[in-house]
Structure 1
């Protein structure tokens, strides 16, 4: 048996190597089949075992026509024959025989059967249909309205459809043999040729987008390019088919949708009017316009509610601008500057009517604008501006400003679709701008309220030198309830207060105002620090109970939460140089001694106000003159960058650095401890202590004897003469006489008299009785009851304060002229 794969023809005729051969058989001189290929099995259906050894005439069953063809093939000529398949049907093939020798040198013939050479048939036509001939297929390609081209392996054009001729403006003969680089602009042809090269290398179809002009005079379009391999019957990629589909509208629609999505995501990220307008300009430039300006009504920047649709000439203030050119050279003014627009200009009409407008620079409206504004006319000329849109920024029925969009680098003018897109962008941006405006107005109102509730300047006193800082939060949560205060007390003492209401907004500010007022009221009656916080805690509890009562809230108002606050109350006495402090859930004060040592006072911690459950305790210690007390709210030492412990350590290090003044120390603490945008309100109060020595203080211990009143008046007169305060001697004698008389008559020994020369002359009389005097109007025949009335008439202020050893009655007498 001869192996068909190893058989070698004797003749070198090239036909023996026809790659299209589908079947081969070997026939010996007797007409018997001695070799049968797999292709022969496929062609005629006879398996190799059945075919080998059988007469060829029985297998092929050729009729007269086929037999003649078969005989012609055996004679060495190529001939067409009809062969019989095993299932009985006829198979038309092209036959040719070649001389052959077997292993013993016997002559044989190698018969090769191939499909007949004829045009490849198209799809089967329905019964009775004539089918499509090759000429029709050629005409269909030539007349195809889509741009379709065929390229060879050298990337040269072979065929071009009518659509390709129309788009490129060339006939097929002119394109034949030319590369893509000879037909398309550079930025397009390189992308196309790279794709064609990849398809030749991989044999896989590729699809990609290109944007540009198919010829110089054509408009810019977006094309979906498909490059497909064309294979030979052997499967080799010999040509490429390139088709182009105009997807400009679909692509622009996707771009517009993407731009709107970006505007929604990017515009309004902050509640700042200028920043919001700039975000709109940044998102629009380069994707819709080459230059954008956004001008808003000047009243928006002054906190005034805008009026609906102002008419006539208007003054607008530049909120934002952006350009595809570095430095925005087209702009005539800077953000923040104001500009006047005459009534006839597109921005003024846009603002008055609330309707957008689209213009070419050759339009009458733009020409009139250029004549009225030579500066803008020069910008139009220099940069080649050719298309302009004026878009109103309207929100909640009010026009807030105008956006002007310009094209000069992009050659295509604005279209109606661009106008609709710009209107949608402006509508979304206008809502964000209006939200920012409303937030700014509300924040300014809350800040004004809070600042009105805080001390504008510390009250005049001489016990301490003070410096302070208040920084409102820069977050959407709004202002908090931080506060501080400096309260002069009797006996030349001073109270330093810092507090914080938990929460933000107007409610926190209002609660802060109530607490600050309560602290000043309680301080005026000289309550000790722990008792003052106890009274303040009761007040917070009552406020919370009122807000939780049924029907206490309106549906549209802020939802109430528990009222919780912290407070630190410190009292300093410059005579004894002693400091007393109590805290309600507040960080302790920091103390800087004159030698630079920094420590935190160990004030016993108490619960926050409104929580209750534990009593408040005080800490009393002595401070050298020139020491610094630092009171602060937790926002100074606690934040995202560090916790409370880390903040306190950083505060200690900052206070250890010497500074030339308390103001400089405040600035250093704010700069070191706080971020650029503090998330919480900050209240900081620094106080440098002073001391009153013997030159300003005189005291006497008096016996509990009415005769001691005269001695007390004499001692006071002598001291006032030494202090050169003779002008108030009569008033001081009268006040001292009444106060000492009351202490001896109604009080308990020991009785002590003290004069303090400060901004006023302070007279104090102390005894060990806790009974507080009260003023009443004496009747006509009463022998007593006029003492305190006289004191109240002659003194600037008077009062009583209780302490552990009894009470002190005091009176302040105004000194004439400046302090000596």
Structure 2
């Protein structure tokens, strides 16, 4: 005990430390965060004898702090109320100043403190003194812990240290919760990764007590498909007698609780009597709350268990273990490389070409990929080899087999593709060549090729066989092991899934492009006295059908209707609304001359036929063309659409204010008509919000940049203006996140020939 503290001060310091310790213990227990925050604030209030304590969270951008928890006048405040409190950052508040200082701030008299603006009274706090301490972890600030005294108070160093310690404890608790959330997310991702692996799969139908095992699961259990009747009792009989009761209890507990099952137990294989360790994961499926099936995967973990039990014996075989570890690392590296290659493209040809490139030379000396063509026949799609001669020999052997009617080979690719049966030839000898050869020349070809080991597996995706993967070793000292077979199957499965995804993408993209093209005019009409040009661009990296559209139609003698619109959303729903609006506009112009009435009738059609919250914006022009070289009368009306722009021949650019309410929201929307007179050389430009709302970071392209860009295009024809606007938007934006439609109508000067 130092001579500078009284017994009471020591007692208070001990209480403060005890409070911090209690709150820290709550944080370590990993309980509810809201309860911990409430306990921390109550501990601060009780220990320091104050009635007002608050915890503020620093919002994104660091401009404001928001209430997270509080005790007001001795009473805890509910979260929904405290979150309504917003406090400015910086010197505009004591908490904001605390964030700036990155350390505890103490004020004995708030009203006299000149370092910051005291705002406690604005929030109903009769505060005269305060301590604030930053809450966070590492270098990242999270918020501020605030303690208020109703009277002017001389805070001690222990008080400040206590508040900062409590703030640190709260920060660690918040950090712990975030780490726990990240761990749960990682666990979920791990579950998905296991589901994509080559494990054995099983299903237990609870009502019929029928167990279905995949081929790989049957191999793990050591059962023969023809001798396995699928009963639950037969599966239980495979379990070691000492483990059956435990397994029954664990399965029963899983069914009664979470429905998630994880078991490790021993089995005795009936085919060879071998004792094996397996690990099983299962999940309960329910139908309207009623459990009906347990599905899961199983893995043979015998080697892992034996490794744990015979660790000392394995030390004597250190060199072998290192070789195996290196082999495993190479396999993982190969799978990682393959996954990156396959996922890096949606082009089927690129995916097919990548597969043999991944296999050779790490996994194979020769690799071939065959897929079904449009006629259901296998054809070579990609191949790779250590040397050109080996690949030429394989192709010649295939040609001879085909000429012999499908005989004269070491295996049948067609049978693999037809029945999905894999071929595993770990060691091929000259006896195999002699049995397969049809004559001496054929045998010589087999011997020159020198196939020593081979694996042939089907390319299967979503239950459909798409082709065959063949890997061959023809160099001395190498042959395939069973784990190589598993590796090849995993590669084939990943490649097949990527290939199927690529083909689905191509198909979907073709459909989307066809439908998109059907929603736009095939070509702009040729109109005497007018120049027309358009640009249409769908957002990058998106094959959904765009929501923008444009159209030009004849509405009378030397009169034309021009419309550009943007429907909400994307995809088929947007396409349906786009078709409806285009059709409605074309129908309305037959009966109406005034643009606002055309849009009003279109609005009626949308409201009548669309029963959800979809809407549309559109700008419509009626363009009346006179004799060549004369001015053109334009009447414009807009329904919630970006304002049309006018580019005069002298370079002046302006926006036409003809705004009205968007379509599909209310009946009888407020719409106006604005008349324009365009002289030869003048242009009017319609566009969608993909132009003005193009982004560069947080900044928009906007109307000002649009007018500036137009000012540089005064000497351009309609095509040049459309291209110039599109180029300006592309140059500005980081990436395209919205569709772009641009339509330019230009009044042409009288031709000299006229």
TM-score range, shorter chain: 0.3 to 0.5
Bigger Rg over Cα: 1
TM-score w.r.t. length of structure 1 = 0.43
Higher fraction of helix: 2
TM-score by length of 2: 0.46
